[in-house]
Amino acid sequence: MDRKNFLETLKKKILLLDGGYGSEFIKRGYSNIPAELLNIMHPEVVYQLHNEYIEAGADIILTNTFSANRKKLKELKLEDDFLRINSKAVEIAKNAAKDKVLVFGDISSLGEFPKPLGTLEMKDTIEEFYQQAKILYNAGVDGFIVETISDIKELKAAIWGIRKVSSELPLIAHMTFEKNGSSITGTSVEIFANVVNDLDIDVIGINCTLGPDELIDVFQKLSFSTNKPLSVEPNAGKPIYDGKTIEYRMTPEVFGMYVEDYVELGANIIGGCCGTTPLHIKVIKNMIKNRKTKKIYKDIPIMYSSRTILKKYHPFTVIGEKINPAGNNSFQKEIEEFNFEEIIKRANSQKSAGADALDLNIGIEKILNTEHIKHIILELDKYSSLPLSLDIQNVDFLETALIEYPGRPIINSARLTKKDLDKKLEFIKKYGGLLIILAMGKDIPESAEERFQLIQTKWKELEKLGFSKKQFIVDPLVLSVAANYNPNITLDTIKLLSSHNFNTIIGLSNLSFGLPNRSQINAAFLSRAIYNGLNSAIMNPEDSLLMNILKGNQLLDGNLVIENKIENRDKL
């Protein structure tokens, strides 16, 4: 079943996943043997459990390969059996499935996070997932599921590794969250959705950690954060440790009581994780057999994120401009020497001053290499927390940053030349992100009308390619008034763009380059630009005049918003 058919099926019916494997093998007496080794040591045990899940009603069974990645097998000194364990797992599942149910290759954590939370390089992380996925694919799985992931970068690596093997099979992407809606690495379920919404997967979901009673709140947050099909696999309640083993004691009947809630929140795929049994699956089957999926389109605001911070782009995004060593020789020198203290200092001071995101504009790209970029992203992930705007010219450097960046970045920027735009579009399709497009091709159009028409024409092409306006921010371009530039060109372009629902951004400080009283000029211009519809600016958040005038504008518009809402209500 290809992706398109799979997604069509999901529109019509709720698919049933299977339940626990590891916990079930232990109950069945195989606590002393790694679950994955059963594939080659006791294939009949695995087959039997698959069969029971199929008989309970599962539409999709997962291969017994949850911990069968090369990294984990190596720790068990089983790396030599890597190929056999995985390909055998698929064989067993397919034998049980008999082409009546789907077999999805099960992939989970490598047991070690990518940097900076762990020691793995992203390149190696992707490679590990790629190697396992390739075996599963060659053995004939119908799709993939990545589940029980705690680190957003590991999830991205798994998706990229799997998609390197095949872009034609369905892919379900799960993370696991605590009761508060946050993973143990600090990424919230909303950030997970924000990141994964951009990526090339088919179903987004959560599993493990919590029983259906506690997981429902997390699932609700997820449901409100995505328009992708949803999947969920709760555990059979809280894990209870009796001194020897961990047990899950929620009965199938109690478990079943929550199924309706998940369906109401739009679940497209439901199964069970740790502690769930064929009986649990059977109960779910009974609950969903007459249910259609409930599809609600959610108007999700434009957001961007770091590992731990999610920000709405509207009404206004302040992007701090100060991680920019232009004209500062010692700052440049430090960066060249892999000393990123000043970067971290500026990141944190801009955050304190009220920045929503940080523009990373290192310049001096000619004297740096991809290692510099990688380390800067890692350091910022570790010692700072705001989302980044990746203001990087060199495409290799930008790709490095996109691979290392944990959240959903702003990408700054693409010109409307075929070469530059095509590359950046490829990047946002593969890596995600909110792309800034400049209202210029090789040259900058003189007038506002020309800049707008350039964008409008290009947008029609992008729309045909399936892109959404929400994926882009348009920079109408601000030049220095000291160089005789008429700032009304930018202001008029903003007005045209915003009246056509384009998101807009400016590099504010360019305006006053070379002038005295820059802060005052910038503040006045910012105010006018916001009045014309501007939604974001790369600016100095430590300039209190700017921040005050911004706040005033927001308060002023906030009042308008409230009023409009009241008016709309009256009309209903």
Residue 531 touches which member of a copy of itself, Zn ion, none, C-beta under 5-8 Å by kind: a copy of itself
C-beta closer to a copy of itself: residue 230 or 491: 491
Q: Which residues of 261-276 are buried (b: 16+ CB within 10 A; e: fewer)?
A: ebbebbbbbbbbbbbb
Candidates 355, 223, 357; CA nearest to 294 is 223
Q: Which of 295, 552, 561, 565 binds a copy of itself (CB under 8 A)?
A: 552
Is 290 an interacting residue with respect to a copy of itself (CB under 8 A)? no
| Tokens (6 digits) for 340 | 């990123």
553 binds a copy of itself (CB under 8 A): yes
CB of 544 to a copy of itself, least distance (A): 9
Residues 471-490 that bind a copy of itself (CB under 8 A): 481, 484, 486-488
Residue with tokens 């309970």: 56
Interacting stretch for a copy of itself, rule CB under 8 A, among 142-150, 184-192, 334-342, 513-521? 513-521
335 is a contact residue toward Zn ion (CB under 5 A): no
Quickly tell me which residue has 């508060």 as its tokens.
180
Q: How far is the CB of 569 from a copy of itself (least distance, A)?
A: 13
310 has which bridge partners? 305
Site string for a copy of itself, 520-539 (x = CB under 8 A): xxxxxx-xx-xx--------
Q: Which of 274, 473, 497, 523 binds Zn ion (CB under 5 A)?
A: 274
Burial classification of residue 379, based on how many CB atoms lie within 10 Å of its CB (0-12 exposed, 13-18 middle, 19 or more buried): middle
Rule CB under 5 A: is residue 281 a binding residue for Zn ion? no
Span of 81-89, 92-100, 206-214, 462-470 interacting with Zn ion by CB under 5 A: 206-214
Positive or negative: CA dihedral 263, 265, 271, 275: negative
Q: Give the shortest CB-543-to-a copy of itself separation in angstroms.
A: 11
With beta carbons less than 8 A apart as the criterion, state whether 222 and 234 touch: no
**519 part of the interface to a copy of itself, by CB under 8 A:** yes
CB-neighbour burial class of residue 172 (10 A; exposed 0-12, middle 13-18, buried 19+): buried
Selection from Zn ion, a copy of itself, none that 45 binds (CB < 5 to 8 A by kind) is none
Asked if 250 is part of the footprint of Zn ion (rule: CB under 5 A), the reply reads no
Contact 526, 551 (CB under 8 A): no
**Residue 325 burial (C-beta neighbours within 10 Å; 0-12, 13-18, 19+):** buried
Candidates 102-110, 400-408, 497-505, 514-522; binding stretch for a copy of itself (CB under 8 A): 514-522
Tell how strand 143-146 and strand 102-107 pair up. Answer: parallel
80 touches a copy of itself (CB under 8 A): no
548 binds a copy of itself (CB under 8 A): yes
Q: Which of 443, 440, 373, 447 is nearest to 409 (CA)?
A: 373
Dihedrals phi, psi of 525, to nearest 5 degrees? -65, -40
The CA distance from 376 to 372, in Å, is: 6
CB under 8 Å to 177, separation ≥6 — which residues?
183, 188, 189, 192, 206, 209, 210, 218
- Contact status: 515 vs a copy of itself (CB under 8 A): yes
- The whole-angstrom separation of Cα 282 and Cα 329 is 68
According to CB under 5 A, which one of 17, 189, 208, 473 is a site residue for Zn ion? 208
CB of 317 to a copy of itself, least distance (A): 17
The secondary structure element, H or E, covering residue 475 is strand 472-475
What's the min distance (Å) between Cβ of 324 and a copy of itself? Answer: 22
Q: 207 in helix, strand or coil? A: strand
Rounded least distance, CB 235 to Zn ion, Å: 5
Q: Does 560 bind a copy of itself (CB under 8 A)?
A: yes
> Three-class SS of residue 267?
strand
Residue 171: which of Zn ion, a copy of itself, none does it interact with, CB under 5 to 8 A by kind?
none
Separation of alpha carbons 525 and 529, rounded Å = 6
End-to-end CA distance of the chain: 45
Residue 559 binds which entry of a copy of itself, Zn ion, none, with Cβ cut-offs from 5 to 8 Å by kind?
a copy of itself
Work out how close the CB of 304 gets to a copy of itself at its nearest, in angstroms, rounded to a whole number: 25
Give 41 or 444: the residue with its C-beta nearer to a copy of itself: 444
State the minimum distance, in angstroms, from the CB of residue 389 to a copy of itself. 24
Rank residues 182 and 527 by Cβ distance to a copy of itself and give the closer one: 527
Binding residues for a copy of itself, rule: CB under 8 A, are 481, 484, 486-488, 491, 515, 517, 519-525, 527-528, 530-531, 545, 548-549, 551-553, 555-556, 559-560, 563, 566
